[in-house]
Every structure is written in C-alpha cells, then in structure tokens.
Structure 1
C-alpha cells in the first residue's frame, strides 16, 4: 500500500470512485456526477490552497482518496479543517481508510491544524442508500459526534440528516497564532 499526493493524472480514477457514491448512495448529497473537468478543478483548488489531497494505491491501482479543506473559510478558523474520504466501493475493510486518515492527520498537524471536522450523511433509518458505517468509521478513529442537522438533505425521494463529527489532533494552548 502506498499513499501519495493526488495528481492531475488521477482525475478519471478518482471521479470513477466518487461517481459510484453520487449515483448509488446518499453518502454524498451531490445528485449529479461532476464532469472530469469540474472534478479536476476541485482537486487542483485543494492542492493550490495548500491542503493535502491524498490517494491510496495498492498494486498500482488507486483504491481511494482523502482530502482536507478550510472549515468555514474565515481567518479565525485557521486551525480547523474539514475532511472527506472515499474508497472504491469494493475496497472497504482493508485498512485503506485508516491509512489515508493517519497520513492526512500527519500533514495537517504539520500545518498547525488542531481540529478536524467531518460532515457525514446520517440516515433517519438505515436503508439501501445510507447506513451509519461512516459515522462508525470516524468514531473508531477518535471522532466524536458534535451536531445533527435534521432532514436537511433529500436524495432518492427520501430525507436524510447530516451530522458533524470532530477530532482534536493537537493542544489548544493560548500561545498559538
């Protein structure tokens, strides 16, 4: 298993992984798969903003990706960021997610990030489009649920909640800039 920074050459494979979730799940509340160009611009925007965008490869094949971005986008939030992770739908339970998040955390901590946030689709009742697997995965990695937005997303003619989970990866001392 290798973890590395995403490149422009990875766009089609990353979009292939993401498209599955757009088209078949309520894990993302995005309802239409973005174009290759739009998706590439998203990746480039993350990389040029200085945040990490990582892929995990196994035997030369990309199995998933994770990235971080600003939380809210105002200066006072500079020690916080939002994370996203997507694994190929056949690549779960192999340690790829943990490996990606551990690598992401190391890079973010080096940037002075202290708070990690994950915005997660949450089923009112589990169904074929959304389970609580993402919540359980994040909890297993030390995230805690800090809030719920009720019936805020509608996909596949159903309402879904959204939760926020949080993890601290550094100390909040008064001397931080």
Structure 2
C-alpha cells in the first residue's frame, strides 16, 4: 500500500511591476480544459497579474502558439494547458513526447513556460488533476510560469513591457562601405 506523500509548494512570488501571461489551451476535452483554465486564472490573479487566453486545436499546437506569441507579443510568460488521454494507438506517445519536448526546448531558450498539459491513462485521472479544488494542475502550471518570470526579473533586467511589440516604421538598408558613394 502506497503512503500518502505531501508535496511542498513554493510561496507565491511577488511582483513590483505588472506581469502578463498568455494562457494557451487545447480544449479537446472541454470540461477538463475549463477546469485547468479556471485554476490558472485564479493563480495569476492571486499575484495581481493579468492574462490573455487563446485556444488551439490540440496539444501539439500549444508550443507553436507560444512561439508565435513570443515573436509577435510582449508576454512575460506562458501557461501551456491541455490533456492527452491514452488511447489504443501510439499517437498518445507522439503527442505527449513532442509537445513536452517543444515546450522544454523553448524553456531552455529562456521562455518562462509552465507546462500543464496533462498526460493521463483515463478521464478520471484527468478530472482529478484538472479540478481547481483537487490537484489543480492548471494553477500549478501558472505558478511555475510566474516563478520563472520572477527568477528572470531577479537575475536580469526586464527587457519587455506589457502588451505588444511595436513594428518598426522604417526599414534601414545597409550601405556598402566598398567604393565611392553615389552623389
């Protein structure tokens, strides 16, 4: 018989400047995704943060949406949510491994990502993990992203504001340094 294990949870980080996260969710299992999102939102709001929410078709699209947002927006961090339930084929393994690997690679490049994509054997496991009143994995993913944002701010200067990156209005062409310039 397995012993009950308690897990330590870090205290919530505190922010002196606004923090904005993007929640990217794959609502393939809508009720589970809704619970995950509710948990994530509650955690973000508990630290006074703000968020935007975007839905994508499935867990494999979550990392791509985060990469697009990183290149076009000014979010401080990201919360990846979704659920993959084992089926009868090896597709489960592909989706679990590839979505997780992509998120991890982006994290190693410096993005602050909380991975809340559930990988479970059945719906019952997913419901318990997604429930904000039970395991609250959506809230845990948001907390992870917030802690990483706090670390990034602690160890380096904040280089991003809140909102979207301004597009350059001018295009600067390099001049050739070889030969005379046209008059």
TM-score range, shorter chain: 0.3 to 0.5
Task: Give 1 or 2: higher strand fraction.
Answer: 1
Q: Higher relative contact order at CA 8 Å, sep ≥6: structure 1 or structure 2?
A: 2
So what's the TM-score if we normalise by structure 1? 0.33
Which structure: greater helix fraction? 2
